[in-house]
Structure 1
Amino acid sequence: MVKETPVESAPVQSDGPPLPGQLRRVPGFPVLLLSVAFGAVASGILNVANDLVAIYALGANATQIGMLNASESMAFLFLAVPAGIMLDRVNRIKTMMWAQLAAGLSISSVPLAWMLGVLSYPQLVFVSFFVGAAGMLWAMGAGSAIPGMVGRGLACSAFARKESVDTSAGIISPGLAGILISVISAPFTLFVAAAANLFAAATLLWGFPQTGSSPAPHSLPATRVGFRRSFGEGLRFTLKHPTIRALISSSVMTNMGLAFGSALETLFFVKVLGFTPQVIGLVISTIAVGGLLGSLVVPVLVAKLGEYRILAFSILGLPLVVALMPLAALAPLGALAMVVSHSVLYNALMVSYNATAYGLLASFTPEHMMGRQQGFRLVFTMGPVPFLGIVGGLLGDALGLQQAMWIWVGLTAFSALPLIPLVRRTNRQEA
């Protein structure tokens, strides 16, 4: 069994316990947060506009929306491990910059094709896959670079701060997308998302002028070894560590449920609840509100209760919150309030879960293994997502949107099971 001793932290700015307030003094971290903000604007707009382009411009059904959402996450299954090995060898900040640039250029091809009258569903699927691959590289690069940038003692707080910026920008961008869609149409709204991606890339280029170099020595490329050896080292480390294994198993079930529900959500809003694009933008804005609340309270709660207890509370609350979605169809007058409550609470709990899980993963992962650990973790946690998206769309057409939503509830409930032994073992050690 792997001994659960955290790896030695990177140096923190003081000799005492790490404090979240130290983050603002970490070189490069504020610049990274600014780039995160631009990326969040792009994602917030894309989350609203992409499905609506498929629905309104191309007449997509639930199965096609499921396949479209699946294409966004297909890169995690096929490219996450090679990307993780690469990120342990190359400059992570520079890779993030190129990923945002590629995403911006790819998104802009959709409105251009629509203007020329040649936009097709296959193009939308291809662009979604490419943007998903770029987003995967961006997320993995940030996740790998942050612990070395801020110190492992601040990793949980840094992730929560990143989520604060991400969700703060996300509060505005989905509502803005709804307005833009009603004024200039969904395809043209994607121009704004593309521009935000380009600004995110430019911010990193400006903030790290030495070709996007990392400000911390811990983010410099590791010594090169063969692909087979890198693959084996990363796989063994990820599977043998009990804490990482439990977190991965729980995340697999959570993400499967989320992928299943995402394939149904937009159509559920439009066809079952009768929401307009403006209302959908408002609902997605409340998602960011929940994420912001979660990111603000996580550092305080973790300091008082510990990461394991907050992790358990978050995962146990998720299925209760997901149940609000199918129940909303039974109460037409209160549907909007129930959906908004779901959005706020679900994302507050998800940010809480992700921040505490990230802090634990960073504590138990050596710097030279961060990219590979993330790569294998994402293969396991995101690999089933494309298939569950397709299954969600198929069952939405076959069973009905409201009935299929209850499957999301069941999948989310099972995600707590792998964490029970972990939390029990921790409670016994603290007793």
Structure 2
Amino acid sequence: MDTTDGATAIERPRFGVLRQRDFRLLWLGETTSGLGTSITTVALPLIAVVVLKSDTFAVGALAAAVWLPWLVIGLPVGAWVDRMRRRPLMIACDLAAALLYASVPVAAWCDALTYTHLLVVALACGVASVFFSTAYHAFLPAVLDGRDLLEGNAKLQGSEAGTRVLGRGAAGLIAQAFGAVLGLLVDAVTFLISTVCLALLRVREPAPENPVDRTTLRRRIGEGLRFVLHDRYLRPMVVYGAVANLALMGYQAVQIVFLVRTVGANPATVGVLIMIGSLGGVLGALLAGAVGRRFGTARGMLAMQAFTGPFALLLPLTVPGAGLLLFALGGFTVGTGITACNVVLGSFRQTYCPPRLLGRVVATTMVINHSTIPLGSLLGGWLGDAVGLRPTMWIMTGLLAPCWLILALSPMRGRRDLPQGYGPVDGRTADAGLGATEPQATGTAAEECAADVSPR
């Protein structure tokens, strides 16, 4: 039962927001492409390691290339998206990604695949992801109203976590049986399915901002930056996301090399281990709403981060045999906390930010959060060559374990719930508690914390 006005109880319909046709299509398309992306997350570095015999730094550079476009074009893309129709842009990005990923197996079958080709594909798909992700998070409130955003985000995060389980496990099996390059062809097909689902949507987007507005691009970018950097809630959130992503990508850039070359795991085992870690994301998505209702969106999120973060320290302890369970347990628990945080902070941003600034705020938070992803990937690759793979895992997980303290030291530590809306009241943020009914929406302020080699 859900209370909407404090007096009237309304029973939640069975299947919730999945009863809505447009959201169902959006969810289906994102779930399908998420499955392909999860396969690519494992397949892309496996191609570099197993097929092209690349060194550790080259694998880290490959991971960095996927995220580098956020640093270069992320801020202007946010300003552009606020003046564009989001759905046609998302369709164009899906089609571009399908063609790029399909080019890798074609080149491999023609015996023409090189590391440079793989690097260019990663970089170009990163560009497509910048446009898609910014448009997607600004588009979702057109499909769901504020009352349904938390549930919608939880379902999207849950299905994304579920596809990580299936996709990463399947990637290892595909690589073992048919070769890693086939995984990228599967990903290309899933992007085509996502394109069809987007094309079938009936939702009418709000008109973009009037093109006669002559505000300069620099000024528009500045509005988004100031809003994020001056806000007492968004600022610590993006700092947390940036630090967490540095650590996450630092160890994710070398974890497959670590498992293959240090632990001695075969590709199928690697896929299963990373798949088990993704199961934690499913649990996190399921827990986010319940924990928010029981303990509050702010208090519950902080408690989960404090509990789950230290489990990252199990990853470097991984050894052959029964010691593989340490990697599985560490990845599972960290994934639980990260995904729950994504659901809460992401939905918070979608309801908290003024709609006219949403595209720019999305881009600004993603640029700040993503700015450390290529740095973490490069740092992880460099450390892997310089000090060894296991010490690198210790350094990066040692940074990740305590970074929840950034949120604990922010103003949210004294709140039960995060504010629901934004507005000046005596120079301060107008807070509307979310705990009276269900904790209301959050989109993806820290969704960037769940960084993979493939950014969709």
TM (norm. structure 2) is 0.84
CA RMSD after TM alignment:
2.4
- Asked if the contact 1:260–1:408 (Cα under 8 Å) also holds between the matched residues in 2, the reply is yes
Q: Could you tell me how far apart the structure 2 residues matched to 1:289 and 1:311 are?
A: 19
Q: Hey, what does 1:5 align to over in structure 2?
A: none
Identical amino acids, percent of aligned pairs:
25
Pair 1:220-2:207 in alignment: yes
Q: Could you tell me how far apart the structure 2 residues matched to 1:85 and 1:26 are?
A: 30
1:387-420 CA-to-partner distances (Å, cap 9, x unmatched) read 2211111111111111111111232135223312
Alignment coverage as a number of residue pairs: 410
Q: Could you tell me how far apart the structure 1 residues matched to 2:116 and 2:298 are?
A: 44
Pair 1:133-2:127 in alignment: yes
Task: Tell me which of 247, 269, 279 is aligned to 1:279.
Answer: 269
Q: Hey, what does 2:310 align to over in structure 1?
A: 320
Pair 1:413-2:407 in alignment: no
Task: Tell me which of 297, 306, 318 is aligned to 2:296.
Answer: 306
Pair 1:345-2:372 in alignment: no
Task: Tell me which of 245, 252, 266 is aligned to 2:235.
Answer: 245
Displacement of 1:360 after TM fit? 2.0
Q: Hey, what does 1:28 align to over in structure 2?
A: 22
- Asked if the contact 1:311–1:353 (Cα under 8 Å) also holds between the matched residues in 2, the reply is yes
Task: Tell me which of 59, 70, 73 is aligned to 1:65.
Answer: 59
Q: Hey, what does 1:212 align to over in structure 2?
A: none
Q: Using a 3 Å threshold, how does the CA distance of structure 1 residues 399 and 203 change in structure 2: closer, same or farther?
A: same
Q: Hey, what does 2:195 align to over in structure 1?
A: 201
Displacement of 1:154 after TM fit? 2.9
For residue 414 of structure 2, what is the amino acid of its counterpart? Answer: R
Q: Using a 3 Å threshold, how does the CA distance of structure 1 residues 92 and 422 change in structure 2: closer, same or farther?
A: same
Q: Hey, what does 1:88 align to over in structure 2?
A: 82
Q: Hey, what does 1:358 align to over in structure 2?
A: 346
For residue 424 of structure 1, what is the amino acid of its counterpart? Answer: R
Alignment of 1:81-120 (within 5 A): 81-120=75-114
Alignment of 1:278-297 (within 5 A): 278-297=268-287
Displacement of 1:216 after TM fit? 4.7
Q: Could you tell me how far apart the structure 1 residues matched to 2:370 and 2:385 are?
A: 24
Pair 1:43-2:37 in alignment: yes
Q: Hey, what does 1:373 align to over in structure 2?
A: 361
Displacement of 1:80 after TM fit? 1.3
Q: Could you tell me how far apart the structure 2 residues matched to 1:234 and 1:349 are?
A: 28
Pair 1:335-2:323 in alignment: yes
Q: Hey, what does 1:182 align to over in structure 2?
A: 176
- Asked if the contact 2:64–2:373 (Cα under 8 Å) also holds between the matched residues in 1, the reply is yes
What SS does structure 2 have at the residue aligned with 1:262? helix
For residue 193 of structure 2, what is the amino acid of its counterpart? Answer: F
Pair 1:146-2:140 in alignment: yes
Q: Using a 3 Å threshold, how does the CA distance of structure 1 residues 17 and 316 change in structure 2: closer, same or farther?
A: farther
1:125-172 CA-to-partner distances (Å, cap 9, x unmatched) read 110111122223322222112234212233232211101122222322
Q: Using a 3 Å threshold, how does the CA distance of structure 1 residues 288 and 424 change in structure 2: closer, same or farther?
A: closer
Q: Using a 3 Å threshold, how does the CA distance of structure 1 residues 407 and 389 change in structure 2: closer, same or farther?
A: same
- Asked if the contact 1:322–1:408 (Cα under 8 Å) also holds between the matched residues in 2, the reply is no
Displacement of 1:116 after TM fit? 1.9
Q: Could you tell me how far apart the structure 2 residues matched to 1:427 and 1:41 are?
A: 35
- Asked if the contact 2:295–2:416 (Cα under 8 Å) also holds between the matched residues in 1, the reply is no
TM (norm. structure 1) is 0.89
Q: Using a 3 Å threshold, how does the CA distance of structure 1 residues 302 and 19 change in structure 2: closer, same or farther?
A: farther
Displacement of 1:317 after TM fit? 3.1
What SS does structure 1 have at the residue aligned with 2:415? helix
Displacement of 1:17 after TM fit? 8.5
More helix by share: 1
Q: Could you tell me how far apart the structure 2 residues matched to 1:18 and 1:240 are?
A: 40
What SS does structure 1 have at the residue aligned with 2:68? helix
Structure 2: tracts of 5 or more residues without a match: 418-430, 434-456
Pair 1:396-2:384 in alignment: yes
What SS does structure 1 have at the residue aligned with 2:210? coil
Q: Could you tell me how far apart the structure 1 residues matched to 2:388 and 2:18 are?
A: 49
Q: Could you tell me how far apart the structure 2 residues matched to 1:302 and 1:89 are?
A: 34
Q: Hey, what does 2:249 align to over in structure 1?
A: 259
What SS does structure 2 have at the residue aligned with 1:207? coil
For residue 381 of structure 1, what is the amino acid of its counterpart? Answer: N
- Asked if the contact 2:313–2:397 (Cα under 8 Å) also holds between the matched residues in 1, the reply is yes
Q: Hey, what does 2:444 align to over in structure 1?
A: none
Displacement of 1:261 after TM fit? 0.8
- Asked if the contact 1:18–1:154 (Cα under 8 Å) also holds between the matched residues in 2, the reply is no
Displacement of 1:182 after TM fit? 2.0
Q: Could you tell me how far apart the structure 2 residues matched to 1:202 and 1:88 are?
A: 24
Displacement of 1:27 after TM fit? 4.9
Q: Could you tell me how far apart the structure 1 residues matched to 2:94 and 2:136 are?
A: 12
What SS does structure 2 have at the residue aligned with 1:168? helix
- Asked if the contact 2:309–2:337 (Cα under 8 Å) also holds between the matched residues in 1, the reply is no
Q: Using a 3 Å threshold, how does the CA distance of structure 1 residues 33 and 409 change in structure 2: closer, same or farther?
A: same
For residue 220 of structure 1, what is the amino acid of its counterpart? Answer: A
Q: Could you tell me how far apart the structure 2 residues matched to 1:414 and 1:139 are?
A: 28
What SS does structure 2 have at the residue aligned with 1:42? helix
Q: Hey, what does 1:167 align to over in structure 2?
A: 161
Displacement of 1:257 after TM fit? 0.5
Comparing 19-28 with 64-73, which one deviates more in the overlay? 19-28
Q: Could you tell me how far apart the structure 1 residues matched to 2:154 and 2:80 are?
A: 26
Q: Hey, what does 2:412 align to over in structure 1?
A: 423
Q: Using a 3 Å threshold, how does the CA distance of structure 1 residues 184 and 427 change in structure 2: closer, same or farther?
A: closer
Q: Could you tell me how far apart the structure 1 residues matched to 2:254 and 2:164 are?
A: 21
Displacement of 1:265 after TM fit? 0.5
Q: Using a 3 Å threshold, how does the CA distance of structure 1 residues 29 and 220 change in structure 2: closer, same or farther?
A: farther
